[in-house]
């Protein structure tokens, strides 16, 4: 378990089978805190821990988020409606994550465009660093953010660019040589 720490104050939920492998969600009473990609062994271990410790605040958020995530992978959900708990992040990172959460299904943005929208046009790399720490990939769709040349660049979730490519393809984009193909 690399980044995921099970803490008593949070509720957890799991999707065992997705196109990206098992996923674990974590929520507080304020909203969804994390989405982690886990392997099958880690998934079983986390599920055992969760069974012993249920009834936590955030379980309603988890149920809602799991339903929406299942529908997203089935091509039915295009916009997520769930509260996020991002209070541990800096003000700049929260602004980047909020702006990224507003990128609609099928649309794309560049790091530079986001920096400009934040009123800091020279902060494209800082935007990239903030997105590299995105605790809620898919829900906060950093996979929709590209380099100015259309290249995918990095993706911090397991699988890296292959994961980013898979999500973009799911949303209808064509990827060729780690670059979105525009017509």
- Within a domain: 1: no
Tokens 């492998």, located at residue: 21
pLDDT of residue 105: 96
pLDDT of residue 170: 95
- What are the tokens at 47? 């599920």
pLDDT of residue 159: 78
- Within a domain: 82: no
Number of domains present in the structure of the chain: 2
Catalytic pick among 142, 145, 146, 180: 142
pLDDT of residue 177: 87
Strands 23-28 and 11-15, bridge-based pairing: antiparallel
What does the DSSP 8-state code read for residue 142? G
Q: Is 26 a catalytic residue?
A: no
Q: What is the CATH number of the domain that holds 176?
A: 1.10.10.10
pLDDT of residue 156: 75
Say which residues have a Cβ less than 8 Å from residue 50's Cβ, sequence separation at least 6.
6, 12, 14
Give me the average pLDDT of each 10-residue run along the chain (183 residues): 52 88 91 90 77 71 95 94 94 97 96 97 96 95 93 81 92 90 67
Using CA atoms, how far residue 115 sits from 66, 98, 100, 110, 144, in Å, is: 31, 13, 11, 9, 15
Q: Which domain-ending residue is among 27, 42, 73?
A: 73
Residues 98 and 40 in one domain: no
Say how far apart CA 125 and CA 71 lie, in whole Å. Answer: 33
pLDDT of residue 53: 58
Residues 65 and 129 in one domain: no
Using CA atoms, how far residue 7 sits from 3, 10, 151, in Å, is: 12, 6, 37
Give the pTM. Answer: 0.88
């Amino acid at each position: 378990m690399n980044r995921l720490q099970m803490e008593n104050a949070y509720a957890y939920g799991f999707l065992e089978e997705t196109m990206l492998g098992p996923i674990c969600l974590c929520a507080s009473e304020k909203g969804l805190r994390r989405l982690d990609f886990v392997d099958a062994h880690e998934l079983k271990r986390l599920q055992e821990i969760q069974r012993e410790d249920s009834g936590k605040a955030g379980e309603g958020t988890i149920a809602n988020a799991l339903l929406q995530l299942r529908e997203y992978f089935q091509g039915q959900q295009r916009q997520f409606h769930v509260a996020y708990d991002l209070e541990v992040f800096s003000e700049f990172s929260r602004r980047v994550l909020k702006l990224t959460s507003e990128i609609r299904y099928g649309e794309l943005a560049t790091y530079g465009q986001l920096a400009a929208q934040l009123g800091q046009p020279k902060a494209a790399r800082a935007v990239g660093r903030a997105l590299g720490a995105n605790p809620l990939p898919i829900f906060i769709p950093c996979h929709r953010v590209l380099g100015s040349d259309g290249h995918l660049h990095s993706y911090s979730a397991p699988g890296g660019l292959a994961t980013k490519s898979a999500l973009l393809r799911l949303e209808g984009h064509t990827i060729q040589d780690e670059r979105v193909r525009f017509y």
